[in-house]
Structures are given as C-alpha cells and as structure tokens.
Amino acid sequence: MDDGSRHGDGLHLSVYAFSNEDVDKLMFTLQDKFNLTCSIHYNREMKPRIYIFKQSMDKLRPLISPYFIKEMLYKLGL
C-alpha cells in the first residue's frame, strides 16, 4: 500500500528494489493476467516505477481495495 502513489488519474507502483528484469516480468504479468494497461516510468534517479494507466484503474480497484486499510484507499481514488 505504501510503495505507490496516485499520478493524475493513474497509479505509480514504486518497484525501486527490483531488478529491471523483475520489473519487466511484473509489468507483463499485470498486463497478461489482469489485462491492465501499464508501462515502466523512471524517476529522477532513473529508478523504475510501473505506471498503471487511467483506463485500467476501474479493473485494478476491485482487485486490490479489499486488501487496503481505509487510510490508504485515497491512493486508489476511493
């Protein structure tokens, strides 16, 4: 819940501790298994983040919101 943030109407997942290969695998898993539209963005320090696009947020919210504490639901726009 804490390793991510809203970015516009989408969501950044901070995956700084993962290797580039693992970030690629995770992004493709999100695309293939959950049909989410996402890409890899980099912060100023060139560390990777997975960006989940606005059009996929309606698919993502019901998948993950049951596991969020209420204080963090704002990150999902709830």
Does 41 fall in a domain? yes
Does 37 fall in a domain? yes
Does 11 fall in a domain? yes
Question: What is the number of structural domains in the chain?
Answer: 1
Does 77 fall in a domain? no
Over the range 27-45, which residues count as b (16 or more CB within 10 Å of their CB) and which as e?
A: beebeeeeebebeeeeeee
Does 78 fall in a domain? no
For position 18, which CATH number holds? 3.10.28.10
Does 24 fall in a domain? yes
User: Six-digit token pair at 4?
Assistant: 């991510």
Q: Which tens digit of pLDDT belongs to each residue from 49-63?
A: 999 998 998 898 888
> What's this model's pTM, rounded to 2 decimal places?
0.79
Q: Which residue has the higher pLDDT, 78 or 30?
A: 30
pLDDT at residue 74 tops 90 = no
Range of the domain at 30: 4-72
